[in-house]
Amino acid sequence: MELNKNNVLISAIISGFYLGLVALGDFYLGSILKSPKIGMSLLFGLALVVILTLKTRLYTGDTMNHTVSYLSKKDNLGNIIKNLNIVFIGNFIGVIIITLLFIYSNSATKEFNNFLFKITNIKIHYNIQTLIIKGILCNICVCSGILLYRKGTDNISKIFLTMSMIFLFVLMGFEHCVVNMVVFTYSIFYNPELFNLMIYNMIFVTLGNVIGGIIVGIINYELNQKEMKQ
């Protein structure tokens, strides 16, 4: 499956931009709530709904999509890795753009900074096993949300099913590589010494996300095979 690199990159930048925007809004909401978990879990699903509505490229969802393409013999591994790399870079560019716009807008409050830096501090202290498993569980939720969105019969059911799966991932504190791009881009702007710890976190969270995407990709493939036989 030959894809235009520029189109893929632009699509991925748009996804990173909107996910970053919702993530920053989510952290802002968390900073003003006494018990932030529920509110943040309810809001963050908006990011995936926007991305699915715009039909743009998100790294975590693409791991599932490419797994299906590979199992269906519609794409080869070399092309899949190349395209995933483009999407990862594009998502990161989109995140950097929106995060810098937010920083230079002077919209952050002291409470927001304290809240986000606290989240960053938690993320940099997870061990490798924790990061990988949290990454796996996160992308099982995200890709399941995408799968359910596609299976929904109307817009209301699509949105509800998608946001319900994202609610679970945020509530239980799983790790999403593109969300972590937002967290670390913001924190590194104020503390560049966090760069190496970002690399540590991102490597193992991304690995976990890929595994989670493959798992749901296999499930998606099997469901498609079953539907074709019916």
- Which residues, at least 6 apart from 136, have a Cβ–Cβ distance to it below 8 Å? 208, 209, 211, 212, 215
Lowest mean pLDDT among 57-61, 122-126, 155-159: 155-159
| Residue carrying structure tokens 């690995």 | 207
User: Do 135 and 212 contact (CB within 8 A), yes or no?
Assistant: yes
Distances (CA, A) of 81 to 67, 86, 202, 204: 11, 9, 17, 17
Structure tokens at 223: 């469901």
**Percentage of residues in the chain having pLDDT higher than 90:** 92
Residue 6 is predicted with a pLDDT of: 73
pLDDT higher than 70, residue 3: no
75-89 tens-digit pLDDT:
999 999 999 999 999
User: For the whole model, what pTM was predicted?
Assistant: 0.94
Q: Counting Cβ atoms within 10 Å, is residue 45 exposed (0-12), middle (13-18) or buried (19+)?
A: buried
Residue 159 is predicted with a pLDDT of: 94
**Integer Cα distance of 94 and 19 in angstroms:** 9
Structure tokens at 67: 């797994």
